[in-house]
Amino acid sequence: MPRIDLDDIVQSNGTTYPADHAGPVQQRWVRRIAPAIGLADFGVSHVVLKPGAASSQRHWHEDEDEFVVMLAGQATLVEEGGRTVLHAGDCAAFPKGEPNGHHLVNESDADCAFMAFGRPPSGDCHYPDVDLLWSGGAFRHKDGRRY
């Protein structure tokens, strides 16, 4: 396969989060590499967080392993056990089914970039800090009502 030119892949700051939970990711810019190059078994995304942005709401998946590699800058990994600053070259893994809500936040004054690897989840995703649950292919309130 030829070299992949990231500039050829659309970068988006869109989100599927309900509007009241979308604020933290408005300055998250993602290139979904896997579908753009024909990969179907797992996802690969290049993510840039502007200062103050988060990678997601803090979450954990019942059925998706996640792995991230910091490429540039620094981000703070926020998880159940605390906060850890990640720098270029650092990696973090989040095994499926482990209820360790996590996300990355750019608390620096410069952009940071990382690669995220996983696969499209089919099971539930839990968001411990907000009234949000991904279940049955849709965002729901924790009591089960659809957004």
Q: What is the pLDDT of residues 103-129, one digit of tens each?
A: 999 999 999 999 999 988 889 999 999
Rounded percentage of the chain residues whose pLDDT exceeds 90: 96
Residue range 24-65, pLDDT digits in tens: 999 999 999 999 999 999 999 999 999 999 999 999 999 999
Domain ranges of the chain: 6-140
6-140 CATH, one of 3.40.50.2300, 2.60.120.10, 1.10.287.3510, 3.40.190.10: 2.60.120.10
Q: Please tell me the predicted confidence (pLDDT) of residue 8.
A: 95
d(CA 11, CA 111): 15
CA separation for the pair 61, 99 (Å, rounded): 8
Q: Say what the pLDDT of residue 1 is.
A: 61
Stated as kind and residue range, the H or E segment containing 35 is: helix 33-37
pTM of the model as a whole = 0.94
Q: Is 144 left (phi over 0), alpha (psi -120 to 50) or beta?
A: left
The confidence score (pLDDT) of residue 58 equals 98
Q: Give the integer Cα–Cα distance in Å for 89 and 68.
A: 10
